[in-house]
Structures are given as C-alpha cells and as structure tokens.
Homo-oligomer: A and B are copies of this chain.
Amino acid sequence: MLRVIQVGLGPLGRKMVQFIAERPRVKVVAAVDPAGGIAGRGLAELCELGGAAADSVAGVVVSADLPAALVAAASFGGADVAVLTTNSAVARVQHQIAELAAARLPIVSTCEELSYPWVAHCEEAAFIDEVCKEHGVACLGTGVNPGFLMDFLPAALTGLCKNVRAVTVRRIQDAAPRRVPFQQKIGAGLTPAAFREKVAEGSLRHVGLPESVHLLAAACGWELSRVEETIEPVMAEAEITGGYRPIAPGQAAGVEQWGRGFVAEPGGEVTGASREREVVTMQFRAAVDQPDPRDEVEIEGTPPIRSVIAGGVNGDIATCAVVLNMAPVVAVAPPGLHTMLDLPPATVGR
C-alpha cells in the first residue's frame, strides 16, 4: 500500500484524491491546504467521494500545514510520497518541496515548470536537487503535458532510431466536447484584444512548452542555441457553434502556441547574427470545433517514425493518471531532482 500526502486541494488536487480513492494499493493518509474554506474540512466531503472511495479516506481531515498533516499521517504509520498540486511555477513550489523533503517525503508534482527546470530555472532546480539529496528523497515534475505527450513520448520514440535529425510534435485539441472552464481557459469567444489582455496577464498561456523542448533536446543529445515560444489566437473565420456559446467570426476560437528549439550549425540558415537549424518543433493548438484532433510525433531520422494518437488524449484524466502512475516510481527512486528521462516509465499497474 502506497501512502500519499496530497498537498494542494484545488480542482486538480481534488481530482487526484478521487483517482487515488478509486485505486487499490494506494491511499491518501493526509492532505494539506491552508486556504480558507478548505483546511479543516473532511476530505471525502471536499472531494465529493462516495461509497468505498469515501471509506478509503474515512477520518482524513484537510490540515492547514505540513506539520499537522505529518501528525495525521503518523496514525497510518507515516506516508511514502507527497503529491504536490499547488502551482505551475518552480519559484512558487521550491520552498514547499524543501519542506516536504525535510520531512523525508519523495515528491511528485504537477508543477509544469518543474518537468524540466534545468535551463529556464536552473537556480531553483539546483536548490531543489540539493535539498532532496540532503534528505535522501526523489522529486519529479510530470503530467500529461508537459510530462508525457510532447516530451517523454517523443523522447522514448527516438529510442527506435540510430540517428535523428529533427522532431516535430503536435498536440491538436478540439475543445468542443470539453468542460466550459477549459473552453474559457483557451480564450474561446474572446475578442482579439481581450485575448491579448489575458495573454499579457498570464492566465491564458499553456505553461510548459519550453520545458518540453528542452527535455526532448536533452534526449536527443542536442545543445540548443536558442528556444523560441509564440502564442496567438486561433481566429474564427465563420460562426462556430460547437462550444458552450457561439463564437462569431473575428473572435478567438482557441489558442495556438509554438515552441521551437535550434542548434547552431555552420550550414544552417542565417537568423540574425548566427547560422542555426530548427531541430525541435512543437505545435500546441486547442480550439472549439478544431478538426482532426490528435497527438502526433514525427521523427526525421533513421528509421523515420510518425506516431499518431487519433482524437488526442484527454488531458484532464491523463495528468492525474501520469502523476499517480509515477508516484510509486518516485517513492523508491534515487535522491535528487529527476525528469521523466531519468526514471522507469509510468505504467498503470505498478
């Protein structure tokens, strides 16, 4: 039985608790969230668990801080791993990680920037790595994206190749059948001006594309000279009616982001002052009534590989699943900060 402390009980943390409660061989023994209206509540009620799922967390009350949660976990003989779902930014989770590590808890987190923090957040990464090694625990940031579809999966598929020249990854999502908050999050129905405003305030962007580019480059042995990220609205050309509300022509139907990684190369194209070649190309596109949704990996290599998951992978479910499936791996992994390249693969039945 893997005993989990759930840290963070926003929508994602609550879903994580629901998933864990459905599964044998894993159990939430304590939970932490200092937020008003959450701390002090029964976990089963907060996470809307019923039946056997509710029974599995009987008596577990949300603690306001980690020391209290550790006391609660002690009545189950302690915890084996912490699941951390509090924030997308490494800078915001690093001290939470340090506190968990000091309690000798391995950590698996949905923090997007933590999936490959070694470039854009190298100071925080070094701090986390050091504190985890000091206390003898492992730490991993993962999820469906970043964490799996646009980084781990293409990286693993390069294992089939004797050489690779470039990799293109596309995650194309049709938002029409998705929850209203998802459609709102991708900017569906916004005017171009409102879309840009939300981008500027940071509430619209999918976080993790540069991290995925860096992880895939590391898997291919490429030292990137530059990483580029763009974000644009997907504009409706005609009226779109598949979503939770009609989208008029000229409004945004969703968002498109590109991540690109380049290597310096004598024979490459001239861009600015240097010659370089694009080796990693990632397209993230989520829009209402988007045709041909899919998760696609195209490897220009020997042999060439083109892998397609038609319809695409449901991210709401898969993020929790990936984290949950990695939890037993992280619980026994060597101390330090890892990426999905460093550990055995997540599988459903560990």
Contact = CB atoms under 8 A, between A and B. Distances in A.
A231 interface: no
A102 interface: no
A161 interface: yes
Contact of A306 (B148, B310, B324, B326): B310
A278 to B, nearest CB: 17
B307 A307 contact: yes
Interface in A287-317: 301-303, 305-311, 313-314, 317
Given A156-B346, A220-B347, A161 B321 contact: yes
Contact of A314 (B19, B148, B156, B303): B303
A169 to B, nearest CB: 14
A168 interface: no
Contact of A159 (B314, B317, B322): B322
Interface string A143-166: 010001100110110111111100
A345 B160 contact: no
A56 to B, nearest CB: 15
A20 to B, nearest CB: 10
* SS class, residues of chain A in contact with chain B: mixed
A318 interface: yes
A343 B344 contact: yes
Interface string A238-257: 00000000000000000000
A309 B160 CA distance: 12
Given A156-B156, A222-B349, A305 B301 contact: no
A314 B321 CA distance: 31
- List the 5 closest A-B pairs by CB distance, nearest first: A221-B349, A159-B346, A219-B347, A158-B348, A220-B349
Interface of A: 19, 22-23, 144, 148-149, 152-153, 155-156, 158-164, 218-222, 301-303, 305-311, 313-314, 317-318, 320-322, 324-326, 341-350
